[in-house]
Every structure is written in C-alpha cells, then in structure tokens.
Chains A and B, each alone.
Chain A
Amino acid sequence: GESVGLHLPTLSVQEGDNSIINCAYSNSASDYFIWYKQESGKGPQFIIDIRSNMDKRQGQRVTVLLNKTVKHLSLQIAATQPGDSAVYFCAETANTGNQFYFGTGTSLTVIP
C-alpha cells in the first residue's frame, strides 16, 4: 500500500512566525499532491495543490515545495495566525483525481 507520513505530529509556533510542515511519501509514481487543513469537527479543507512537474507553488500566505528526488513535500505558512491552528494533512495520488492517500497529520498550534 501507499505510505504517506509526516515528520512531526505536533508543531507549536508563535503568532506572526512562519510555520513549516513536512511530509514524506513513498510512491515515486505519485503525480499530484494536496495539502488540507482540518479543524475540529469539520471535514478537510483544501489549501493548496501541486503537480509533479512543479517544485514550488504559492498561494495566499502559503507555499508548497515538492522535492521528488527525496520524495518530500512541505507546506510553509507565512505570518501564522491563531486561525491557522488545525491539523494539516498532505495527500497524494498516483492517478490524478482518483483515490488519495493521506498522511497521519500534523497538529499546528499557534501561540498568541
């Protein structure tokens, strides 16, 4: 089966600092990746995606970096805010648009 993992289960940052959440994947055939944010009692919320033909993509306050050589994905959140506190999941698929494999998740806590 697939293996998508996160390096750190929890992360605490000061408000205003930048956050970096990491994710490792094992399937070299993976061609599409998504970062999701999940707040308590809610479904995962799409943050940003990246295809395997890219190594960086930026959104509003978020950047995703993809290193296919070492099969590593990261999510950078700039100027972290209390509203960013949530569990973050990376998800990947090797057949774009079908089933995704999710990692365990990293719990981000923003300290005011």
Chain B
Amino acid sequence: AQSVTQLDSQVPVFEEAPVELRCNYSSSVSVYLFWYVQYPNQGLQLLLKYLSGSTLVESINGFEAEFNKSQTSFHLRKPSVHISDTAEYFCAVSDWRSGGYQKVTFGTGTKLQVIP
C-alpha cells in the first residue's frame, strides 16, 4: 500500500527567505507525485506534478520539487517566499499501474506561514 508522510505540520518562515516542505512516500511500484496548495477558505489547487522524465518539476509561481527515488522523497522548495504563499500544502502519491483507477493518497498537510 502507498503512503505519504509530511513530517512538518507547520513551517514559519520570514518573507523573502527560502523554504523547503518535506514529503516522503512509500510504494511498492513506480509512482506519480503531486503537490497541492490550499489557500484559506478555498479548495485545493494542483501546484505541480511528477509523472516521468526530468526529476525536477516547476510551478508557474516559483515553486519546484525534485523526485528522489533513492530517498523516496519529493520535497517542495522555493528560494524566496512571499506573503501570498501563506497556505497549506499537501503532498500526494499515486501508484503507477496498468489500467483501472490509480488511487491518490494525500499527506496530512504542511501549513506554511510567511512572516512579514
């Protein structure tokens, strides 16, 4: 069975500082990996995804995540955060299987608080 661990429930960081949100997964097969963001009082939005190919994936608002198979990690990073990045971030994993629905398992979320 697949699982996702987000060890940090809250991460405070000063504006313009770098940030890393950690995500580790476990699965017995190849995986797809995702990061979602949830702004206050809103639903989730897909931020970025790794399906195959380059292990470094980027979002349009400056976040990036790197798939590391040996460490089973998919950490999310941003070199300089803004107040508007304050949100909850969810890591998710989907097993790669042939045919059928591939269930997506979500982590418990990390709240990023950007301090002015």
Partners in one complex: no
A residues adjacent to B (C-beta < 8 A) = none
Interface of B with A (CB < 8 Å)?
A: none
